Amino acid sequence: MTQATNPSYNPSYNPSITDAELTVSAMAAEQLAGLMANPDVDADGIRVFVSGGGCGGMTYGMTYAESVNASDKVLEGEGFKVVVDAIALSYLKGCDIDFTQDDLNASFVFNNVFQTVGGSGTCGACGAAGGGCG
């Protein structure tokens, strides 16, 4: 089957994630690079995913990406690769992934996720910003 007769072929598809789609703060980039530098990790990158649930309707998370699929988009940084499938990326558009550390608590934070899908940027039930109930 040639590209011209392949229904899944899309010449305008760009597998790179743009800044308008998703950004990673310097602090988060440092943490992602540290995760990928672990010698026990055998992964192509860090997969960001979206799943239903929570009072805001969606939850956001990360796991190691065993592979990069044809429909995935990728954000490459120094020492890391963020992998997101096209459907999840539509829910993350405009999101900034950050990393916060305060005393004993450290976590990745997804900022602006509700705003990009028409919400206020905060949870309607608990008022937490960024997509998680606080």
Where is mean pLDDT largest: 79-83, 112-116, 117-121? 79-83
Q: Judge: domain 22-117, CATH 2.60.300.12.
A: yes
CB 77 within 8 Å of CB 29: yes
Helices and strands in the chain: count of H runs, count of E runs: 2, 7
Judge whether residue 5 has pLDDT over 60: no
Q: Which two tokens stand for residue 13?
A: 């598809």
- What's the average model confidence in pLDDT over 85-97? 90
Percentage of the chain lying above the pLDDT 90 cut: 48
- What residue ranges do the domains of the chain occupy? 22-117
Over the stretch 18-74, which tens digit does the pLDDT of each residue have?
Answer: 999 999 999 999 999 999 999 999 999 999 998 876 566 678 889 999 999 999 999
